[in-house]
Structure 1
Amino acid sequence: MHTEVGPVDTVDDELRAQLLACWADVSNAGGSVGFVPPVTEEGVAPYLDAVIERVHRGRELLAVLRVDGRLAGFAVLSLSVSPLRRHWATVLRVQVRPELQGRGLGRVLMTGLHDIARTRGLEFLHLTVRGGTGLEAFYADIGYREFGRMPGAIRVAPGDDRDELHLTCRL
C-alpha cells in the first residue's frame, strides 16, 4: 500500500466529487466531522464549497491523503489572518474513508499534515474534538495536549450535549 499526503491549492470538479463523497461517507459512518448522520452529499455540499472557496483564496489549505493514487481522506488547515498568529493554524475536518479506517491512515494523514504545516512556517496547531468519541487519545499519541474544554458545546441530539475539547500541538 503506497500512501502520500500532499497539499492542494486548487480543487477541480473531479476532486470536489471525491471530497464530497468522502465527507458524506465519513459522516454517515459516525465520524465527528461537523454533522450527525444521516447526511446526503447535497447537505454537505455547501460546507465543502465554502472550504474550497477559502482554499482558492489562500485562507485554508487542503491536505489530501491518497492510497495507491486514490483519495483516502483529507484534512483542512485554517490559516490565521492576524499578523500576531501567523505561526498558528487550526486543523479542521480530519477524516479517512470508512472502509480504510483501522489501518493507521489517520496517523499518516496527520503526519503529512504536520509536514505541510512545517514547510509553511507554522509552529503550532490547534484542533477541537467532540467529547465522548475517544479521539483525544489518538491525538495525544501524536503530540496534542488538551488545554481546555467547552462543556455541552456540541448538541448531537436533543438531550445529548457533548463537550468540545481544545487541543494543541507544538510542531
Structure 2
Amino acid sequence: MKDSIVLRIVDIGNLEDLSFVKKAAQLLQGLVSNGAAIGWVDPPSTEEVTGLLRELVIASGNNNACLISIWVDQDLAGIGYWKRYSRPTHHPHADIEKVAIDPRYQGHGLGHLLMNKLISTAINAGIEMLTLDFREDNFRASKLYKSLGFKEYGRLPRFVAVGTARYDKIFYALDLR
C-alpha cells in the first residue's frame, strides 16, 4: 500500500470534529452490518458510538484508556482501543476491547500497525498485561494476535450467541512486564 498512513491518538478535539464521529460511526455500523465480530449483533446507533468515543477520551485523561484511529490519506481506515480494568486488584492491566479495520483496507497490515500502536501506548501508560477476546471464527484476528506475541489463556465453549449460532469466546493475553 503506497498511500499515506497516519495513526492518531483520539482526543477531545477529534470528538468536536463531527465528521470524525460520523466516520467512526459509519465504519462500525458498516462492519457490523456485514457480520463483523466486534461485539454488536445489530449496528450501533451514531449516538451509541458517540457516547463510547466520549467515554474513552475522558478515560484517556487518566491513562485509563486509549483510542487510536488509523487513516489512509483522508479515509478513516480503522479504530481500536484499550481500557484499563476498574477493579483495584486488576488496575495495572487493560483489555483491548475493539479493533476495527475498514474492509477496503484489510489485508494490508493496518491491523498490525494499529495493534502495535495500542501496545506501545499501553506500555507508556504503565500497563502490565493486555488482554483481549474474540469469536472463534475470527481467524484473521487470531493470526494477528499470535504474531504479536499474545497467548491463549482460555476459552468459553459456545458462549457467543449470534441468532441461533453459537461460537467459542477465546481469551488472549500479552505480558508487557
Shift of 1:108: 0.9
SS in 1 for 2:138: coil
Decide whether aligned partners of structure 1 residues 109 and 146 sit closer, same or farther in structure 2, where only a CA change above 3 A counts: same
What letter is aligned with 1:5?
L
1:89 and 1:82, CA in 2 relative to 1: closer, same or farther beyond 3 A?
Answer: same
Tell me by how many angstroms 1:9 deviates: 2.5
SS at match of 2:115: helix
User: Which amino acid in 1 is paired with 2:4?
Assistant: H
Match of residue 28 from structure 2: 23
Counterpart in 2 of 1:150?
156
Task: State the 4+ residue runs in structure 1 displaced beyond 4 angstroms.
Answer: none
Residues 23 and 44, structure 1, Cα contact 8 Å, conserved in 2: no
Task: State the 1:46 CA deviation.
Answer: 4.2
Q: What is the CA-CA distance between 1:57 and the residue it aligns to? A: 2.9
Match of 1:124 in 2: 129
Which residue matches 1:44? 45
Give the residue type in structure 1 aligned to 2:148: I
Q: Secondary structure at the match of 2:79?
A: strand
Q: Deviation string for 1:93-150 (max 9, x for gaps)?
A: 2011111111111101101111111121112111000012213222111111110111
| Residues 29 and 98, structure 1, Cα contact 8 Å, conserved in 2 | no
Question: How many pairs align?
Answer: 166
Q: Which amino acid in 1 is paired with 2:120?
A: D
Q: What is the distance in 1 between the residues matched to 2:74 and 2:50?
A: 23
| TM-fit CA distance, 1:56 | 3.8
- With structure 1 as the length reference, what TM-score do the two structures score? 0.87
Q: Which amino acid aligns with 1:4?
A: V
Is 1:137 the equivalent of 2:143? yes
Tell me if the contact between 2:137 and 2:167 (Cα under 8 Å) persists in the aligned partners.
Answer: yes
Hey, what does 1:101 align to over in structure 2? Answer: 106
Contact 1:7 1:116 in 2 (8 A): no
Shift of 1:69: 4.4
Query: Identity across aligned pairs (percent)?
Result: 23
For 2:166, the equivalent position in structure 1 comes to 161
